[in-house]
Amino acid sequence: MGGPQELIDLAKTRRTKIAHRNLRAEVEFRPDVVMYIAGALERFESMSQDDIQKLGYEIAVKGQSGLDINDPAQKYTLSSLPGNYSGLHLCSMMYAAFKQFAPKQDVGIDFSKEYAAALGMRGE
């Protein structure tokens, strides 16, 4: 894209805000995110805390270059997990991962309602 770094950062921040607003445009509660988080929590049961942290960081780093959370296409891959994922799926897994090792950390997206619902589904 080019240009001064402060303008690039401003553009990224505004693009992220627009994506978050569009994510919640139709509904305040996302059942798809609940299912992604519930799946992540189930997966975490067989992972070490270190592996969960590595996964969370891998997704966060990938997110630095942008994840399209409003496109359902499974166009992203991870080195730590097999398969293809949508941007929303990755953000949901990242949110759940950070809740495991840094619960007070702001990851840039609020899935607190969906996280609570996923925990409720699991009886936690």
The contacts of residue 4 (CB under 8 Å, 6+ apart) are none
List, for residues 31-84, the tens digit of each pLDDT value. Answer: 999 999 999 999 999 999 999 999 999 999 998 888 888 889 999 999 999 999
CB 115 within 8 A of CB 95: yes
Phi, psi (deg, nearest 5) at residue 77: -125, 160
Could you tell me the pTM of the whole model?
Answer: 0.79
